[in-house]
Each structure stands twice: as structure tokens, then as C-alpha cells.
């Protein structure tokens, strides 16, 4: 098993690691996707502008897949120049849980869909220049007169501050055009006017519920025409929560068992000396009179 | 753990208030939460059949700065869908005032959930989620009594807000005795029997083990002999 190995931090590390073949294939598939979607064009960097950085992210998925993703370094983006609006809503967990309670009561279908490289599909409004990614360095880093050659982004890319917003706008438009109404209470919940369909979106995850399998198939076909998506079949999890249904008796269990186990392992909590309440009834936490500095490394993990 | 564990909401909010200056006592408290989680890793929220509606509660003056702690939970088909445990923004002068402020938060959430559910086509559920239980008779009486004059403006406004919704029939308030008040779990540290009772009241319990399918509704009961998710009022 290689699961204990750290994931590589850079492309060059990935390509000399034990799993170089897998990482190479993964990054090639990402480059393919970027090129196929016309994500950028090569351009000269105008005077006064700076190119934002980018890096590779490598992830081993639970199901054994290897994923490479090119992300922009958003911290180098300057407001007003590289981005203007960045807010994008995500579905509230309250709405998800309410929806799940309804689904199990009505014994509705509950399907998941996942978008391949979600952000590549939205056009970028601002002009953003990005460095040529590691691994794609061409001979022409500078032209004859010494100006730098960079990527001018046409589509938004992971990591850009405005990417989630651009993606949100694009999908919102698509759903409204296909006869959905957006819930006033949660802007990531859509209800179809004629079909009995309810959708819930969380960035690149999509939950579809409907009493009818045909209606689910209809919306899946619509989506496949517009976006590159994968049908996940009956939903078994969402954002780290596991969903277990027992349809004959109409019950649904929602748990974070796995996540809890990971957190406990990370902090080295053994399963002896268990307690039955999260705090003793007379515990009182008072402000500490002395300052306790926090380890900056730990602080960074939670920011 | 915001997704599925309302049982630790109060403890987490209590330790979070000290996260900017964490001392050894805080770490002990955090470890205690972890030890609790370690014993309850398989806990899940079960939706099936059961209570629909809300609970709100407050613990007057419980904060170190004498602000009160308010909390609410909203249930759908026996499982919690929405909950909160928060220190109130201003100091309450009486327990009724603290309950009243908690009720305001609960009513706001109740209206939101009701509208969401109606938008999803669940009209019956939208109406039921607007039933809110409160364990303070005085706070309920105040919503019906036009004689009430609050001394301070923030209470005055909350008073008019709840009264408007109660009078129009949008929100229905019920009294619920303290021992059955599930939202008690969001306002104070409880001894084990009450804690376990309210955990069940939230629809939480050990999930089906991985070998058996979700079909075996394993262990819905605990020592209190309650079935989880059942209406306690």
C-alpha cells in the first residue's frame, strides 16, 4: 500500500516519486482538459501588469484515483485589476438536511452528480495574466524584444478568487433557462416548475431529488449536453457526510463517522477512557490571565 | 462537525470562545470533547417519522460576561435539521428576557425553514415547522399580552416581531416543561441522564454498523428507554 506516502507538492517531485507514472497520467489528463476548453492563450505581458502564479496540486482519491489539478495562486491577485466580485453562495446545510428529511418521507429518488473540472466552463470577465504552468514551459519564455510570454486566461481556473462566482453565474443561468426556479430562501436550491424536481448545488457537487426516475434522467441528459459531468447514482455521501437509506421503511441516516475517526486519529485520541458527555456538568472555562501563544504551524492548519 | 453532531454544539461553542488564548485548561476541555466523540463515532441523525417543529431555550446570565446563552433546534420527521447554540448579543435583565431573545432567534429560523419547505412543495411541513416550543410560561404570556412595556428598545423590537407573527397565526408557540426541552442541550452542560435524553430527542443515536445494512434499525434505545426522534411533548 502506498496510501501512507505524502502527496507530492510540485510537478518535479511527482515525476521522480514512486508513483510518477500515475501522477504523469493525472497531470496529462488535466492539461488535456485545460487545452480542450481553451482555458488560456499565450500573450505578451503588458507593462504594469503582473502575472499571477500557479501550481500543481496532487491528490490521491479514496477510490484509488490519482488527480492532478492546476490552481492559480489567488493571494497574488489584486482587487479591481485581477478580480472585482468574488462572492458565490453555497447551499446551506440546513436546506440539505430538510431536503433529506423530505426525500426519505416521500421515498423519492436521490441522485448525485459531479462536474469534471467545474470552473473551466465559465468565461472570465476580467483580463487575468498567469505564469506558464510548470511542465508546460516552452522555448519562448520571452519574445525577441525581451517581453515576457504569459497565459492570458479566457476561462476561469481553480484558485482564482472569482472562479466560484463565475461558475455560480453560469449554472444559475443554465437552470433558469431550463425551467427551474431558484428558491428565495436558499439560492443554491432549484425547483422545477413542471417536473417534480428539486436540485441542490454545492460548488461542483449536485444533488437531484424527484419522485420519478424519468425526471431525474431528463435533467441528467440536459446537464450532460452542457457540462462534462459524471452520474454518481444514488447519493451515498455529500461533503464528508455519509447518507444511508433504507427505502422500504423510509428512513435515512446521516453521519460523519469517517470524518470523526480521522480527526481523532490526527489528535492521537485513543478509544479507552471514554466519557458519555462532551463536558462535565460543572466545568467552567474562564479567561486565562496569562497569554498562551499558539503554535503558528497549527494555526495555519485552521486558517 | 457542523453537519451531523448537534450534541457537541454547546461544548464546541464554549471552547471556541477561548480559542484566541488557549491555555492548558482549554486543551483538557477539548480533549474531553474528543473522548466523547471517540465513544460516539457511529452516531448519526435518523430521519424517518416523528416530531416536526422547533424548540428554543436560554440559560440566563450563564456567560462569563453575564450574557445569556440561547439555543434552538428544529426537527423534521424525527431528526434535527437546524440548530444553534449562541451567546446572546446583549445582557438580559431577567430569564424571561433571555428566553425572549432566544425565541426571537428561533422564530426567525422557523420562518425561514417554513418558507423553504413551502417552496419545495411541502406545505404541510412548512406549517408544522412553525410550531415552536418554549419552556418559559412568562415569555409565552408576554407575546399575548399587549400590556407589556419593555424598558429597552432591543427587547421592544423583538417583542413586536414575535407578537406580529403569533397574532397572524404564522408562528404558534407551545409551552414545554424544562425536563422535556430538547434545546436545553444547547444552553448548558447537562448531567448524563438529561444529556442522553435530549440527544435522543434530536434524533441522534448509534448508526447501523457497517456489516448490517441500514435496514437493521440497530439500537434506537438507550438507558432512558426512549426511542430516538419521538416527540417528547
**C-alpha grid cell, residue B133:** 416550543
pLDDT in tens, B189-208: 999 999 999 999 999 999 87
Q: Which chain A residue's Cα is nearest to B20?
A: A294
Cβ contact B119–A185 (<8 Å)? yes
> Whole-number mean pLDDT of chain B?
85
Q: Which residues of B touch A256 (CB under 8 A)?
A: 1, 3-5
Q: Which residues of A touch B64 (CB under 8 A)?
A: 285-287
Cα three-residue angle B108-B110-B112, rounded to 5 degrees:
70
Q: What is the pLDDT of residue A1?
A: 36
Residue B147 lies in a domain: yes
Q: Judge if B105 and B188 occupy the same domain.
A: yes
Residue B34 lies in a domain: no
Give the C-alpha separation, B18 to B118, whole Å. Answer: 40
When comparing pLDDT for A25 and B1, which is higher? Answer: A25
Q: What is the pLDDT of residue B98?
A: 92
Is residue B36 within 8 Å of residue A276, measured between CB atoms? yes
Q: Does B137 touch chain A (CB under 8 A)?
A: no
Q: Does B1 touch chain A (CB under 8 A)?
A: yes
| Residues in B 172-201 with any Cβ partner in A closer than 8 A | 189-192, 195-196
Which site among A235, A244, A253 would you substitute to test the B interface, given the most B Cβ atoms closer than 10 Å to its Cβ?
A: A253
Give the C-alpha separation, B148 to B142, whole Å. Answer: 6
pLDDT in tens, A8-17: 888 888 888 8
Q: Judge if B195 and B216 occupy the same domain.
A: no
Q: Which residues of A touch B46 (CB under 8 A)?
A: 251-253
- Encode burial over A13-50: b for 16+ CB neighbours within 10 A, e otherwise: ebeebebeebbbebbeebbebbeebebbeebebeeeee
Q: Judge if B123 and B89 occupy the same domain.
A: yes
Give the C-alpha separation, B158 to B122, whole Å. Answer: 28
Cβ contact B112–A240 (<8 Å)? no
Q: Judge if B96 and B146 occupy the same domain.
A: yes
Q: What is the pLDDT of residue B225?
A: 40
Nearest CB to B3: which of A240, A274, A294? A240
Residue B25 lies in a domain: no
Q: What is the pLDDT of residue A137?
A: 67
Query: Distance from CA of residue B90 to its chain's centroid?
Result: 20
* B107 HSE (CA, 13 A, CB side): 24
Q: Judge if B53 and B157 occupy the same domain.
A: yes
Q: What is the pLDDT of residue A291?
A: 80
Nearest CB to A98: which of B3, B5, B76? B76
> Per the structure, how many domains does chain B have?
2
Asked if residue B151 has pLDDT above 50, the reply is yes
Q: Judge if B156 and B214 occupy the same domain.
A: no
Q: Judge if B60 and B119 occupy the same domain.
A: yes
Q: Judge if B195 and B141 occupy the same domain.
A: yes
Q: Does B217 touch chain A (CB under 8 A)?
A: yes
Give the C-alpha separation, A103 to A200, whole Å. Answer: 13
In angstroms, how far apart are the furthest CA atoms of chain A? 75
What's the pTM? 0.82
For residue B144, what is the domain's CATH number?
Answer: 3.30.420.10
Cβ contact A98–B192 (<8 Å)? no
Asked if residue B212 has pLDDT above 50, the reply is no
Inter-chain Cβ pairs, chain A and chain B, closer than 8 A: 208
Residue B36 lies in a domain: no
| Residues in B 35-54 with any Cβ partner in A closer than 8 A | 35-39, 41-49
Q: What is the pLDDT of residue A168?
A: 87
Residue B179 lies in a domain: yes
CA distance A180 to chain B (A): 12
Residue B26 lies in a domain: no
Asked if residue B221 has pLDDT above 50, the reply is no
Which residue(s) pair with A238 in the sheet?
A241
Q: Does B128 touch chain A (CB under 8 A)?
A: no
Asked if residue B1 has pLDDT above 70, the reply is no
Q: Which ranges of chain B would DSSP assign to H, the alpha helix? A: 9-16, 24-39, 95-119, 123-128, 137-144, 153-167, 192-201
Q: Judge if B153 and B224 occupy the same domain.
A: no
Residue B75 lies in a domain: yes
pLDDT in tens, B52-102: 999 999 999 888 889 999 999 999 999 999 999 999 988 988 888 899 999
Q: Judge if B95 and B191 occupy the same domain.
A: yes
Q: What is the pLDDT of residue B64?
A: 83
Give the C-alpha separation, A189 to B121, whole Å. Answer: 13
Residue B146 lies in a domain: yes
Q: Judge if B166 and B52 occupy the same domain.
A: yes
Q: Judge if B166 and B220 occupy the same domain.
A: no
Asked if residue B213 has pLDDT above 80, the reply is no
Nearest CB to B44: which of A250, A254, A274? A254
Cβ contact B217–A251 (<8 Å)? yes
Residues of chain A where predicted confidence (pLDDT) is lower than 70: 1-5, 137-146, 272, 301-303
Which site among B34, B49, B59, B82 would you substitute to test the A interface, given the most A Cβ atoms closer than 10 Å to its Cβ?
A: B34
Q: What is the pLDDT of residue B222?
A: 40
CA distance B11 to chain A (A): 6
Q: What is the pLDDT of residue A142?
A: 63
Distances (CA, A) of B32 to A16, B107, B213: 43, 33, 31
CA distance B76 to chain A (A): 6
Domain that holds residue B78: 44-202
Q: What is the pLDDT of residue A236?
A: 92
- Encode burial over A62-89: b for 16+ CB neighbours within 10 A, e otherwise: eeeebbbbbbbebeebeeeebbeeeebe
pLDDT in tens, B91-136: 988 888 899 999 999 999 999 999 999 999 999 999 999 999 999 9
DSSP states of A205-268:
EEEEEES-HHHHHHHHHHHHHHS-EEEEEE--EETTEEEEEEGGGTEEEEE-HHHHHHHHHHTT
Amino acid at each position: 500500500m502506498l496510501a501512507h506516502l505524502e502527496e507530492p507538492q510540485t510537478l518535479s517531485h511527482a515525476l521522480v516519486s514512486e508513483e510518477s507514472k500515475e501522477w504523469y497520467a493525472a497531470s496529462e489528463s488535466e492539461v488535456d482538459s485545460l487545452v480542450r476548453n481553451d482555458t488560456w492563450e499565450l500573450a505578451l505581458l503588458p507593462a504594469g501588469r503582473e502575472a499571477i502564479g500557479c501550481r500543481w496540486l496532487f491528490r490521491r482519491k479514496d477510490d484509488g484515483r490519482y488527480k492532478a489539478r492546476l490552481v492559480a495562486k489567488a493571494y497574488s491577485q489584486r482587487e479591481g485589476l485581477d478580480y472585482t466580485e468574488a462572492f458565490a453562495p453555497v447551499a446551506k446545510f440546513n436546506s440539505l438536511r430538510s431536503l433529506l428529511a423530505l426525500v426519505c418521507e416521500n421515498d423519492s429518488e436521490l441522485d448525485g452528480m459531479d462536474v469534471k473540472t467545474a470552473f473551466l466552463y465559465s468565461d472570465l470577465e476580467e483580463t487575468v495574466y498567469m505564469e506558464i504552468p510548470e511542465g508546460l514551459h516552452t522555448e519562448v519564455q520571452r519574445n525577441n524584444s525581451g517581453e515576457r510570454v504569459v497565459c492570458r486566461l479566457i476561462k476561469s481556473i481553480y484558485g482564482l478568487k472569482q472562479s466560484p462566482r463565475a461558475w455560480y453565474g453560469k449554472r444559475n443561468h443554465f437552470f433558469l433557462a431550463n425551467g427551474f426556479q431558484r428558491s428565495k430562501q436558499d439560492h443554491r436550491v432549484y425547483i422545477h416548475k413542471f417536473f417534480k424536481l428539486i436540485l441542490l448545488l454545492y460548488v461542483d457537487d449536485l444533488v437531484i431529488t424527484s419522485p420519478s426516475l424519468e425526471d431525474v434522467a431528463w435533467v441528467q441528459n440536459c446537464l450532460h449536453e452542457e457540462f462534462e459531468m459524471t452520474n454518481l447514482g444514488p447519493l451515498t455521501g455529500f461533503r464528508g457526510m455519509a447518507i444511508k437509506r433504507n427505502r422500504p421503511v423510509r428512513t435515512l441516516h446521516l453521519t460523519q463517522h469517517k470524518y470523526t475517526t480521522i480527526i481523532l486519529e490526527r489528535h492521537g485520541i485513543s478509544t479507552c477512557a471514554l466519557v458519555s458527555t462532551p463536558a462535565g456538568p460543572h466545568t467552567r472555562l474562564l479567561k486565562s490571565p496569562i497569554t498562551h501563544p499558539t503554535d503558528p504551524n497549527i494555526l495555519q492548519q485552521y486558517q | 462537525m457542523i453537519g451531523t453532531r448537534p450534541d457537541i454544539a454547546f461544548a464546541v461553542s464554549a471552547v471556541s470562545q477561548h480559542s484566541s488564548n488557549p491555555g492548558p485548561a482549554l486543551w483538557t476541555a477539548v480533549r474531553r470533547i474528543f473522548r466523547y466523540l471517540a465513544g460516539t463515532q457511529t452516531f448519526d441523525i435518523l430521519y424517518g417519522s416523528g416530531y416536526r417543529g422547533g424548540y428554543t431555550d436560554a440559560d440566563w446570565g450563564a456567560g462569563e460576561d453575564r450574557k445569556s446563552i440561547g439555543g434552538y433546534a428544529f426537527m423534521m420527521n424525527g431528526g434535527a435539521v437546524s440548530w444553534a447554540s449562541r451567546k446572546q448579543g446583549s445582557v438580559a435583565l431577567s430569564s424571561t428576557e433571555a428566553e425572549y431573545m432566544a425565541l426571537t432567534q428561533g422564530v426567525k429560523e422557523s420562518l425561514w425553514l417554513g418558507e423553504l419547505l413551502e417552496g419545495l412543495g411541502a406545505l404541510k411541513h412548512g406549517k408544522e415547522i412553525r410550531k415552536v416550543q418554549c419552556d418559559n410560561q412568562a415569555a409565552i404570556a408576554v407575546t399575548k399580552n399587549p400590556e407589556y412595556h419593555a424598558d429597552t428598545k432591543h427587547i421592544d423590537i423583538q417583542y413586536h416581531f414575535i407578537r406580529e407573527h403569533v397574532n397572524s397565526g404564522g408562528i404558534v408557540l407551545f409551552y414545554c416543561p424544562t425536563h422535556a426541552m430538547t434545546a436545553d442541550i444547547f444552553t448548558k452542560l447537562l448531567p448524563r441522564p438529561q444529556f442522553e435524553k435530549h440527544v435522543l430527542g434530536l434524533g441522534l443515536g448509534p448508526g447501523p454498523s457497517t456489516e448490517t445494512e441500514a435496514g437493521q434499525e440497530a439500537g434506537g434505545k438507550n438507558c432512558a428507554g426512549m426511542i430516538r426522534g419521538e416527540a417528547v411533548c
